[in-house]
């Protein structure tokens, strides 16, 4: 894949495929030593951390949009006020 095209893909799509392939090949060679489990653990924690960060940012944005004070528009004369 060209270097520029790689920047256009979401990062999680690339790491999922790469890590899955590496772990799969490593497990076929030797289950315990064929895969760098410490590095896999760090990558997995990065996935979980990015998911949690995205959830928090989305929740904050939603709360800001949902509960932001809104200045009410003036009521036209002669209209009923609910």
Segment 5-19 mean pLDDT: 64
Of 68 and 9, which is predicted with more confidence? 68
First vs last C-alpha separation in the chain: 61
More confident call, 80 vs 52: 52
pLDDT tens digits, 37-78: 888 888 888 888 888 999 999 999 999 988 887 777 677 777
Token duo for residue 54: 């995205």
Q: Residue 21 phi/psi, 5° resolution?
A: -65, -45
Is the pLDDT assigned to residue 11 strictly greater than 70?
A: no
Contacts with 50 (C-beta within 8 Å, 6 or more apart), sequence order: 12
Is pTM beyond 0.85? Reply is: no
Half-sphere exposure of residue 41, counting CA atoms within 13 Å on the CB side? 3
């Amino acid at each position: 894949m060209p270097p520029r095209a790689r920047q256009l893909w979401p990062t999680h799509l690339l790491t999922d495929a790469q890590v899955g392939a590496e772990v799969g090949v490593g497990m076929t060679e030797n289950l315990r030593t064929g895969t760098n489990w410490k590095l896999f653990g760090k990558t997995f924690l990065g996935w979980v951390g990015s998911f949690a960060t995205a959830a928090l940012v989305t929740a904050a944005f939603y709360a800001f949009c949902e509960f932001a004070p809104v200045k009410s528009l003036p009521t036209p004369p002669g209209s009923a006020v609910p």
